[in-house]
Structure 1
Amino acid sequence: MRAQFVLSEIWIGLRRNLTMTIAVITTVAISLALFGGGLLINQQVSEMRGYWDQRISLTIYLCTDVSVSTTCQENGPATEEDRTALQADLEQMSEVSSVEYVTQAEAWQDFQDRFANQEALVEATEEGDIPDNFRVQLTDPSQYDAVQSAVEGRGGVDTVSNDQSVLDQFFGLLDGLKWAALTVAMVQLAAAALLIGNTIRLSAYSRRRETGIMRLVGASNFYIQLPFLLEGAIAGLIGGIFASGFIVATKFFLLDRIQEWFQFDVTLGMGSVLYVIGMSMILGVLLCTIASFLTLRRYLRV
């Protein structure tokens, strides 16, 4: 009987405040969708950082006959002795895990392969425009400054290019997107909590006669509050279910597309998506339940 009474009270509350309930569910769904999207982007950024941190390398371009840097103009093209000495010094550095020498022909072929979909750029570049170089893999990505400063200005060295500067800009963009989504989500969650509290307050006020009778017959505070708490929890659960669709769409239509554009081989599994969905739904239920409980303590006066 008690369970049947609680269910009937929940149904009465949802029916009397249908418009407000729909507004709560919509606000919670939007909030959790943004929150879950931010968590998903955060996981993707973390995975990509780990992937690229293991692949950050320095490219040391050597002087050629057409190099225009001051060092190359003063010392001329890199000699075999320059290359041998540079490679030996690099291999002795503790910050370096591997060194690979790339000839001009190999560098030209690699350039054609990387930019095969940009025919105009490939046609505008001729063999010999890209100098021979050393590709240096680092043991610790944070030590690229030490290696870079050690080789810059040496005889035969034209320029030093590092992947870190490019990746920092890219990850800065993703971090900005992540924090923007989380900030908007927090604002939306705060708005959802206020709206939930107002809805529960109106529901409690509209049923003040029933709750008064329940108090007179000796019903406990928890028994009187339970239908209102369950109303909030159900609204949070439904909002979380709707938000889960947006989270799945974020994974397939945003994150996977970004990887296709940049040819990243770091794809989040469905386990990560289910984890984010679970966290978002739990947050939605807790948020609505806690907001309902705090509102009832203030307005129900039981």
Structure 2
Amino acid sequence: MRLQFILSEIGLGLRRNLSMTISVVLVTFVSLTFVGAAGLLQLQIDQMKDDWYDKVEVSIFLCPSDSDAPTCVGGEATADQTEALREQLESEALEPYVEQVFYESKDDAYVAFQERFADEWWAQGVTADQLQASFRVALVDPEQYQVVSDAFTGVTGVEEVRDQRQVIEPLILVLNRSSLVAAGLAAVMLLAAVLLITTTIRLSAMSRRRETGIMRLVGASNLFIQLPFMLEGAIAATIGAALSVAGLWFGVRYLVEDWLAGEVQFVQYIGTDAVWTIAPILLVVAIGLAAVSSVVTLSRYTKV
């Protein structure tokens, strides 16, 4: 009997404030979509870091014949200098840091250059002598780049030591800032959702003050009186969360997996499984919004 009464009160409240309930659903949907988008973007950033940082190498470029670097005053790196660099890279001192060393000669660099820019007209005039030899060094821990850099920077025969993370990190920085912007917008929208849910519960409580008074006269507890209002907000917020999860799933499925993955293929993108990873979080946030709004509102507006 009590359950039936509570359900009837919930239905009555939702019908009386239908427009406000729809507004709560939509605002919750938009705000949680921003929250979910920020979460998915952070998952994508973490995956890119894991994929790219493990693959990045330190490039030790040897002196070409026309370099003006102070370490290249003697001209192009000699065979003895190259062999000395190889021995240093394979030494016991650098063994804890260096995982693998690959030497790329000028001819190897030319072949790789032509494969990469085979369709570019300007690449046809480049010769092997215009390129420079280098050592490609895979590190045990990419964060230990500075150890290798310090060991070879300023060494005769070495023009430059370059960490490939310098190319990746600006992109990671942009993505991190985008994630922060999405999180900021999500916070604003969540505040709007709390205010709207609070208003909806307040209107519902005020429209049923007579019923609330009768229930108090017959000895109904605070929980029994307030539960229908709390559940109204929770239902509206949960519907908004469900719509948000559905929207994020379709976005990842069709925009990321189908379109973006085909256009930009050098990135391994997150899949729809990531949406299901954050879906419980969105549901908890939605219920939390309703709970906070209920606590703020009901203690005042269900008093008779």
In the superposition, the TM-score normalised over structure 1's length comes to 0.92
Equivalent residue, structure 2, for 1:194: 195
Length, aligned pairs only = 300
Q: Which moved more, 1:192-201 or 1:50-59?
A: 50-59
Q: For residues 257-277 of structure 1, what are the alpha-carbon distances to aligned partners after superposition, in whole Å with 9 as ceiling and x for unaligned?
A: 665555345332433220112
Q: How does 1:110-121 map to 2 (within 5 A)?
A: 110-116=112-118, 119-120=120-121
Distance 2:216 2:125 in 1: 85
**Deviation per CA, 1:75-114, whole angstroms, max 9, x where unpaired?**
1111111111001101221321111001112212222333
Q: Could you say which residue in structure 2 is the equivalent of 1:77?
A: 76
Structure 1 position 263 matched with structure 2 position 262: no
Q: CA deviation at 1:60?
A: 1.1
Identity %: 40
8 Å contact from structure 1 (residues 44, 255) kept in 2: no
Matches within 5 A, 1:268-287: 268-287=270-289
Q: What is the DSSP-based 3-state SS (H/G/I as helix, E as strand, rest coil) of the residue aligned with 2:129?
A: coil
Map 1:104-183; keep pairs closer than 5 Å. Answer: 104-116=106-118, 119-120=120-121, 122-123=123-124, 125-183=126-184
Distance 1:148 1:254, change over 3 A: farther
Question: For the structure 1 residues 64 and 221, does the alpha-carbon distance in structure 2 shift closer, same or farther, using more than 3 Å as the test?
Answer: same
Distance in 1 (alpha carbons) for counterparts of 2:302 and 2:22: 22
**Partner residue in 1 for 2:104:** 102
CA apart distance, 1:154: 1.6
Q: Distance in 2 between matches of 1:262 and 1:109?
A: 24
Stretches of structure 1 that go unaligned for 5 or more consecutive residues are: none
Q: Deviations over 1:6-39 (max 9, x none)?
A: 1221111111111111111111101100001111
Alpha-carbon shift at residue 221 of structure 1 (Å): 1.3
1:103-160: per-residue Cα shift (whole Å, max 9, x none)? 11221222233345x6245346443332111001111212212211221222221222
Could you list the per-position Cα deviations for residues 189-224 of structure 1 after superposition, in whole angstroms to 9, with x for gaps in the alignment?
Answer: 111111111110011000111111111122221111
* Cα distance, 1:178 vs structure 2: 0.8
Using structure 2 for the length normalisation, give the TM-score: 0.91
Amino acid at match of 1:287: L
Q: Give SS of 2:66's match.
A: coil
1:169-191 alpha-carbon deviations (Å, 9 max, x no partner): 11101100111111110111111
For the residue of structure 2 that corresponds to 1:75, the secondary structure is coil
- 2:49 match: 49
1:83 aligned partner, one-letter code = T
Aligned with 2:90: secondary structure? Answer: helix
Query: Distance in 1 between the 2:216 and 2:122 partners?
Result: 80
- Paired position in structure 2 for 1:214: 215
Unmatched runs of 5 consecutive residues or more in structure 2: none
The residue number in structure 1 matching 2:89 is 90
C-alpha separation between the residues in 2 aligned to 1:124 and 1:293?
A: 74
Which residue of 2 is the match for residue 6 of structure 1?
6
Q: Secondary structure at the match of 1:97?
A: strand
Cα distance in structure 1, aligned partners of 2:145 and 2:260: 27
- For 1:140, give the aligned amino acid: D
User: Is this contact kept in 2: 1:40–1:251, CA < 8 A?
Assistant: no
Partners of 2:173 and 2:276 in 1: CA distance: 26
Kindly tell me: are residues 201 and 248 of structure 1, through their superposed partners in 2, closer, same or farther at Cα, counting changes over 3 Å?
same
User: Residues 234 and 115 of structure 1: is their aligned pair in 2 closer, same or farther, counting only changes over 3 Å?
Assistant: farther
